[in-house]
Amino acid sequence: MSRGSLPDAVDPRGAGGAPVNQIELTIDDRTVTVDEGTSVFDAARIHGIPIPVLCHQQNERPVGVCRVCSVDCGERVLQASCVRPAEQGMKVQTNSEKVKKSRRMLIELLMSDHPSPCARQRKSGDCELETLARLEGITAPRFPKRVSPRGQDDSSLVISVDHEACILCDRCIRGCDEIRMNDVLGRRGKGYNAGIAFDLSRPMGNSSCVSCGECMVSCPTGALTNKSVIQTVLPGGEPVAVPELKQLPFFQRVSGTFLELNANAVIKRHFKAGEIICREGEYGSTAFYILEGTVQIFLATPMAHVSTFGGATGFFSKLTSRLTGGDRHRAGADHPRSISIDASVDLPYDNPVAELGPGELFGEMTCMNLYPRSATVRASTDCVMFEMLRNVLDVILRNKTLRSELEANYRRRALDDHLRTVPLFASLSPDFIESLASRVELIRLSKGDVICRQGDIADAFYLVRIGFVKVTEEHPGGDLVRAYLGKGGYFGEIGLLTNGLRTATVSALDHVELLRIGAEDFHDMLERFPTIKRDLTAVAREREEQNTRHMAAVTGVSLNSFLAQGLMEANSLLLIDLEKCTRCDNCVRACADAHDGVTRLIREGLRFENYLVATSCRQCRDPLCMVGCPVGSIRRRNSLEIVIEDWCVGCGLCAQNCPYGNINMHPFEVMLKDLTAPKQVKAVVKRKATSCDLCSEHAEPSCVYACPHDAAHRVDPNQFFKAYSGIKTTERA
Amino acid sequence: MRIDQSHRSWSLWALAILVLASAAYVPYALTTRPSGGSIPGLLYGIAGYGMMLFAALLGARKRVPVWRLGRSQTWMRGHIWFGLLTLPMILFHSGFSARGPLASVLMALLFLVFLSGVGGAAIQHFVPGMITSMVPLETIYEEIPHVREQLLAEAEARVRVLFTEADAGAAPESAEMIELETEDRDYVAGVYRNMILPFLQHPDGGASVLADGDRAGAFFEALRRKLPATAHATIADLESICEEERQLIRQKRLYLWLHSWLLVHVPLSIALIVLGGVHAVVAWRY
């Protein structure tokens, strides 16, 4: 029997749809006539005789697993009516004492394992099992509940899975495999461990599930429920009727039930030319799909660093913080060709403006990862677009047709730019990029997915398109985070260039999309462009050397509290010797004096013996501040210092992410073009993130320089505490 | 500033200057009657006053902490060691006597400034270490009132599991409340209102039993013995809140020591510099 077809015995039409014989049987003392091959359940249903059931529904092949529909056909045992074909002259009792007793027992047994009220019962009061139990008058089952919990799975953005509420009726499995032909759902385990599984028992959100919603609408209990967004009403738009949505290729393969359940999660919005659609730095939770019109996407923030001014050589020079733009770039910073944003295009650094048109999607990273907006978007012409919440976007992005459309757009418009974002690839010829465009693979990953593992065979080179990945190196004492890479970051070259094995494990920190260049194409590229090979080899060597240095630095320090306080993660610490410090706060005043009255250090923090680890940037080895920057403006130099680039949009996410509170938001009043009246300028307060810059214009940080008591020191913690532990050991001896 | 091994070179240089000045003073004092108006006397006076001025410039230096005028700690070391040399220099200048009322006042001021400075240096040598060991929960001084408010609020929140304000022997109001006998509840309410709350509201009064660590320990031990084990966790919380409060009292007291000597040293130093200048002009003109 092939999957997707009803068993011959219960196919009401018979083979090939040819006319079938009629048969006569008696159900509950009523004589009824049905087509030959009709099941007893259908025969009763057609004639208005209700038989309770859980595992069967009309659009699915009956399997007879729940046995709730059991009836007495006058045979030795009761028969599941959904799979028992009706026969000529059959006498069926659906409500005899024997049947009722059996049904009641089954429901009671099922209820003993069911978390009552389940999610569905709580939400809509229509859990089929609990409804049956109520009708049967079952309140508290006599049997004990299972002791081993089966757990919940909340990984999907759209559907909540409660394995505890699952009655193993398999309706979801048949819905997924036979109705939608997605073949994602199946069974796992045996006996008490039996349950439904996605792919090879992966979390639903990480599986190949396309979130069509069929399993959810098939489920009779609260095991699969919609993560409701009914309360979320997107402002300023008009709700879109499901039929209208279904006419668009974009939504054609999305379950209508799902769209109905999420009616408020997608709206149509109209923007007049010149109207601002979203602003950089603002927090949002939606993505936009352009139906009509074009939009201009740009950075309104002044391209400027917060710089400390004042001559390092001037005897009486006073330091001040100012926004400095123009040709002034940070020492050691590469001049970027473009700025990565949350759209299918990058913005040119020298003129950060781009246009998007119909069929383009923007705001994907904000929507999926709840990051701040990376750019300001203004309607160039009158526009119509869909604004959608994360669960809708997730469903859409799982749609293969749409994905291939978006990917084609990306390959056509942004791949070239994206590849060239990596300075090393700037010299690639257009024809090579064109040939590469058809061969690179776009990979989509969920939070926690491992992209490659240390020790695996290196088979590809990766570029980050959306989201953030974490690069960790495994060591016997634990993992060492080597880097966080955001859009424009790349990895995998060391393995391909050296011994063919991965030297680190790379995993997705959130919703991530990567550009995968296979090993063959990668080597082909290196052969054709020797300069790229030379530069990549140099970068690989430099990264290896850095790793060796880091490892040398973190080994040999055995101070427990040093490790416990996470100080080994720091690259540079401002330590205050409390035995010497007279609490005069000259360090804080000096810092404030050096930075426009806004101090970047607070004389408070963790204590390590007689040292205070002041609240000031630690230049962490695991720089959490870098995760989520929507424009990738916070980065680290090769010397590991954290720097904030001049295109910082002032969203403040880095300040929120810093676990030590060491990043401040610095307000500046600047004159900018009025976005609503282009011919006018207006004063606006723009924020830029600032963290300790080590007063890099000077030989020594101001806080240390100004301490009259030799109490403040900027130190490499590993060297310092290694020496310190040596002194302590000597003292103890 | 902690005066330790790192001051070795400064102390040796200061000693060398002192030895040289003394060596020059002995033949000078043996051959003539030392006076401020003599050439050696004037040289000693200029050197002494110059050292005073340098020491006084530390205050100005601190006002411009980011100016690259030399590291502040260099200025501080100069302040200490030149400041110490000032006394012998001025004594050599005056020939160990003060003639006239202005000179007498100056000499008295010099001694006072010198002693307050030495005292201050001693305080700044020892007190930071005392704060570090005696106040593990040290906070920023300006934050103390705020921390105290938080401690009071925390104590109020903690104690609500034992009794409520409206509670006069009534049954517990919420599920989080610990069940106590009515007598115990009244007792703990009385202790809180009469002992703990006044201490947390007015911690600097000093009269409370809870201001003393040993007596507070005994007090809480007695409270634990009186109440059932279910209340002990709350008692421990209240005890640690009182301990933190005591640390804040200690911090305030030690900070007072650490900085209050400046209230003597700085004005007297200014007076000394000004009157020293007057003395120089008067002596020069008359």
Structure tokens at B237: 């919380």
| Higher-pLDDT residue of B93, A337 | B93
HSE value, Cβ hemisphere, 13 Å, CA-based, for B147 = 19
pLDDT band at A265 (very low <50, low <70, confident <90, very high): confident
Q: Is the pLDDT of residue A596 over 80?
A: no
Task: Please indicate, yes or no, whether residues A548 and A576 belong to a single structural domain of this protein.
Answer: no
pLDDT band at A676 (very low <50, low <70, confident <90, very high): low
Per-residue pLDDT, averaged over A325-332, amounts to 48
How far is A598 from A619, CA to CA, in rounded Å? 20
Inter-chain touch B140–A602, beta carbons under 8 Å: yes
Inter-chain touch B131–A578, beta carbons under 8 Å: yes
Q: Is the pLDDT of residue A430 over 60?
A: yes
SS3 B49: helix
Nearest to A705 among B6, B72, B132 (CB): B72
Is the separation of the CB atoms in A297 and A347 below 8 Å?
yes
A437 within domain boundaries: yes
**pLDDT, position A650:** 84
Residue A568 burial (CB count, 10 A): 18
Q: Domain ends where: A506, A529, A554? A: A554
Is the separation of the CB atoms in A656 and A607 below 8 Å?
no
Task: Indicate which CATH number applies to the domain containing A490.
Answer: 2.60.120.10
A525 within domain boundaries: yes
Task: Please indicate, yes or no, whether residues A582 and A677 belong to a single structural domain of this protein.
Answer: yes
Per-residue pLDDT, averaged over A679-697, amounts to 80
SS3 A196: strand
**pLDDT, position A559:** 47
**pLDDT, position B83:** 94
| Higher-pLDDT residue of B85, A402 | B85
Task: Indicate which CATH number applies to the domain containing A53.
Answer: 3.10.20.740
pLDDT band at B270 (very low <50, low <70, confident <90, very high): very high
Inter-chain touch B72–A707, beta carbons under 8 Å: yes
Nearest to B272 by CA among B61, B53, B57: B53
Helix and strand counts by DSSP (H, E) for chain A: 21, 39
How far is A566 from A706, CA to CA, in rounded Å? 28
Task: Please indicate, yes or no, whether residues A524 and A634 belong to a single structural domain of this protein.
Answer: no
Task: Please indicate, yes or no, whether residues A538 and A581 belong to a single structural domain of this protein.
Answer: no
How far is B11 from B3, CA to CA, in rounded Å? 10
In three state form, how does the secondary structure of A89-118 look? Answer: CCEEECCCHHHHHHHHHHHHHHHHCCCCCC
Task: Please indicate, yes or no, whether residues A646 and A689 belong to a single structural domain of this protein.
Answer: yes
A103 within domain boundaries: no
How far is B45 from B41, CA to CA, in rounded Å? 6
Per-residue pLDDT, averaged over A351-377, amounts to 82
Q: Is the pLDDT of residue A672 over 60?
A: yes
Q: Is the pLDDT of residue A690 over 60?
A: yes
- Judged by a CB distance cut-off of 8 A, whether residue A602 touches chain B is yes
Q: A224-239 pLDDT, tens per residue?
A: 988 764 445 566 778 8
Lowest mean pLDDT, pick from A2-6, A439-443, A449-453, A596-600: A2-6
Inter-chain touch A315–B69, beta carbons under 8 Å: yes
Q: Domain ends where: A533, A554, A575? A: A554
**pLDDT, position B124:** 92
Residue whose entry in the numeric block shows the structure tokens 């007893």:
A40
**pLDDT, position A2:** 34
Choose the mutation target among B61, B63, B72, B146 for the interface with A, i.e. most A CBs under 10 Å. Answer: B72
**pLDDT, position A285:** 79
Shortest distance, CA A723 to any CA of chain B (angstroms): 18
Q: Is the pLDDT of residue A20 over 70?
A: no
Is the separation of the CB atoms in A506 and A469 below 8 Å?
yes
**pLDDT, position A9:** 37
The number of angstroms, rounded, from the C-alpha of A560 to the middle of its chain's C-alpha atoms is 35
Q: What is the mean pLDDT of chain A?
A: 78
The domain total for chain A is 5
pLDDT band at A1 (very low <50, low <70, confident <90, very high): very low
Chain A residues with CB under 8 Å of B132 CB are 578-579, 610
A101 within domain boundaries: no
Q: Is the pLDDT of residue A572 over 90?
A: no
Choose the mutation target among A710, A713, A714 for the interface with B, i.e. most B CBs under 10 Å. Answer: A710
Task: Indicate which CATH number applies to the domain containing A160.
Answer: 3.30.70.20
Chain B residues with CB under 8 Å of A602 CB are 140
A610 within domain boundaries: yes
- Judged by a CB distance cut-off of 8 A, whether residue A598 touches chain B is no
**pLDDT, position A196:** 93
Inter-chain touch B66–A708, beta carbons under 8 Å: no
Chain B residue with minimal CA distance to A590?
A: B65
Per-residue pLDDT, averaged over A644-671, amounts to 81
Inter-chain touch A708–B68, beta carbons under 8 Å: no
**Pairs across A and B, CB distance < 8 A:** 86
Inter-chain touch B68–A317, beta carbons under 8 Å: yes
Q: In chain A, which among 607-636 make CB contacts under 8 A with chain B?
A: 607, 610
How far is A477 from B168, CA to CA, in rounded Å? 58
In three state form, how does the secondary structure of A317-338 look? Answer: CCCEEEEECCCCCCCCCCCCCE
A707 within domain boundaries: yes
- Judged by a CB distance cut-off of 8 A, whether residue A580 touches chain B is yes
Is the separation of the CB atoms in A606 and A717 below 8 Å?
no
Chain A residues with CB under 8 Å of B135 CB are none
| Higher-pLDDT residue of A584, A368 | A584
> DSSP secondary structure string, A702-718?
HHHHT-TTS-EEEE-HH
Structure tokens at A405: 């459309």
Is the separation of the CB atoms in A378 and A275 below 8 Å?
yes
Nearest to A706 among B66, B128, B140 (CB): B66
Q: Is the pLDDT of residue A627 over 50?
A: yes
Q: Is the pLDDT of residue B181 over 70?
A: yes
In angstroms, how far apart are the furthest CA atoms of chain A?
A: 113
pLDDT band at A556 (very low <50, low <70, confident <90, very high): very low
Chain A residues with CB under 8 Å of B65 CB are 586, 589-590, 593, 702, 705-706
Is the separation of the CB atoms in A486 and A632 below 8 Å?
yes
Domain that holds residue A130: 119-226
How far is A249 from B229, CA to CA, in rounded Å? 69
Inter-chain touch B65–A586, beta carbons under 8 Å: yes
| Higher-pLDDT residue of A633, B104 | B104
pLDDT band at A6 (very low <50, low <70, confident <90, very high): very low
How far is A488 from A622, CA to CA, in rounded Å? 19
| Higher-pLDDT residue of A308, B228 | B228
pLDDT band at A92 (very low <50, low <70, confident <90, very high): very high
**pLDDT, position A423:** 65
Q: Is the pLDDT of residue A15 over 60?
A: no
Per-residue pLDDT, averaged over A272-290, amounts to 86
Per-residue pLDDT, averaged over A382-399, amounts to 80
Task: Please indicate, yes or no, whether residues A406 and A274 belong to a single structural domain of this protein.
Answer: yes
Inter-chain touch B65–A316, beta carbons under 8 Å: no
Structure tokens at A629: 């920057």
Chain B residues with CB under 8 Å of A590 CB are 65-66
Q: Is the pLDDT of residue A132 over 80?
A: yes
Task: Please indicate, yes or no, whether residues A678 and A598 belong to a single structural domain of this protein.
Answer: yes
Inter-chain touch B131–A580, beta carbons under 8 Å: no
Q: Domain ends where: A356, A386, A414? A: A414
- Judged by a CB distance cut-off of 8 A, whether residue A661 touches chain B is no
Residue A428 burial (CB count, 10 A): 18
Is the separation of the CB atoms in A298 and A400 below 8 Å?
no
Query: What pTM was computed for the model?
Result: 0.58
Task: Please indicate, yes or no, whether residues A291 and A359 belong to a single structural domain of this protein.
Answer: yes
pLDDT band at A193 (very low <50, low <70, confident <90, very high): confident
Lowest mean pLDDT, pick from A386-390, B167-171, B255-259, B273-277: B167-171
Chain A residues with CB under 8 Å of B80 CB are none
**pLDDT, position B108:** 95
Shortest distance, CA B121 to any CA of chain A (angstroms): 11
Chain A residue with minimal CA distance to B73?
A: A708
Chain A residues with CB under 8 Å of B140 CB are 602-604
Task: Please indicate, yes or no, whether residues A533 and A575 belong to a single structural domain of this protein.
Answer: no
Task: Please indicate, yes or no, whether residues A153 and A192 belong to a single structural domain of this protein.
Answer: yes
Q: Is the pLDDT of residue A440 over 90?
A: no
Task: Give the dihedral of Cα atoms B98, B101, B104, B106; nearest 10 deg.
Answer: -120
Sign of the dihedral through C-alpha A70, A73, A77, A80: negative
Choose the mutation target among B9, B58, B61, B66 for the interface with A, i.e. most A CBs under 10 Å. Answer: B66
Residue B107 burial (CB count, 10 A): 17
Inter-chain touch A710–B66, beta carbons under 8 Å: no
Is the separation of the CB atoms in A150 and A163 below 8 Å?
yes
For A48, residues 6+ apart whose C-beta sits below 8 A from its C-beta are none
A104 within domain boundaries: no
Chain A residue with minimal CA distance to B135?
A: A578
Chain B residues with CB under 8 Å of A661 CB are none
Q: What is the mean pLDDT of chain B?
A: 89
Percent of chain A having pLDDT more than 70? Answer: 80
A70 within domain boundaries: yes
Residue A502 one-letter amino acid: R
Nearest to A319 among B66, B124, B140 (CB): B66
Q: Is the pLDDT of residue A455 over 50?
A: yes
- Judged by a CB distance cut-off of 8 A, whether residue A3 touches chain B is no
Task: Please indicate, yes or no, whether residues A569 and A692 belong to a single structural domain of this protein.
Answer: yes
Task: Please indicate, yes or no, whether residues A199 and A293 belong to a single structural domain of this protein.
Answer: no
Is the separation of the CB atoms in A297 and A377 below 8 Å?
yes
What's the complex ipTM? 0.86
- Judged by a CB distance cut-off of 8 A, whether residue A314 touches chain B is yes
Residue B20 burial (CB count, 10 A): 10
Shortest distance, CA A714 to any CA of chain B (angstroms): 15
How far is A506 from A498, CA to CA, in rounded Å? 18
Sign of the dihedral through C-alpha A432, A433, A435, A436: positive
How far is A208 from A554, CA to CA, in rounded Å? 41
Per-residue pLDDT, averaged over A252-264, amounts to 70
Inter-chain touch A315–B68, beta carbons under 8 Å: yes
